[in-house]
Structure 1
Amino acid sequence: MSDGRERAHIEIGDCVKVVLKQDQRSNKLTEGVVSKFLTKSAFHPHGIKVMLEDGQVGRVKEVVS
């Protein structure tokens, strides 16, 4: 398992845990599968922003597989 701050550690189709915008205060994690990248840079200190297959958007906190 790696953290989600480096884009190189994440691929389309990976199972990840993200923090959704509305869950940032509670730091509640949501698990899903990456459908596309929304952060263009190779690194982001709060996590790479992705869209999950179900349409939810969040910042990756850890890569499950």
Structure 2
Amino acid sequence: MDGRYRKNIRPGDEVNIVLKADQRSGRLTRGTVREMLTRSPSHPHGIKVRLTDGRVGRVREVLKTPQPPCS
């Protein structure tokens, strides 16, 4: 899924982000979203998030969303 829209991202999602230091190279970092930092519904460079390990970057793609447990 596209990382430019806030509606596509939820805490707990596994995502690929670009860290500030990697913007020139475009190197992607994989992690799990802890919180969303961008407040607007969209951003042309990707929604800024903080991962569970504390790193901050802009989402390039959402890899998978955790499924709720079946009852």
TM-score band w.r.t. shorter chain: over 0.9
Which segments of structure 1 move beyond 2 Å, counting only runs of 4 or more?
none
Confirm whether residue 23 of structure 1 aligns to residue 30 of structure 2: no
Name the aligned partner's letter for residue 47 of structure 2. I
RMSD: 0.3
With structure 2 as the length reference, what TM-score do the two structures score? Answer: 0.89
Structure 2, gaps ≥5 residues long:
65-71
Give the Cα–Cα distance (whole angstroms) in 2 for the partners of residues 53 and 12 of structure 1: 9
Counterpart of 2:61 in structure 1 is: 62
Rounded Cα–Cα distance in structure 2 between residues aligned with 1:56 and 1:38 = 12
Residues in 2 aligned to 1:3 and 1:30: alpha-carbon distance in whole angstroms? 16
TM-score by length of 1: 0.97
Q: Percent identity?
A: 59
Q: Which residue of 1 aligns with 2:67?
A: none
Task: Name the residue aligned to 2:10.
Answer: 11
C-alpha distance after superposition, 1:24-43 (max 9, x if no partner): 00000000000001100000
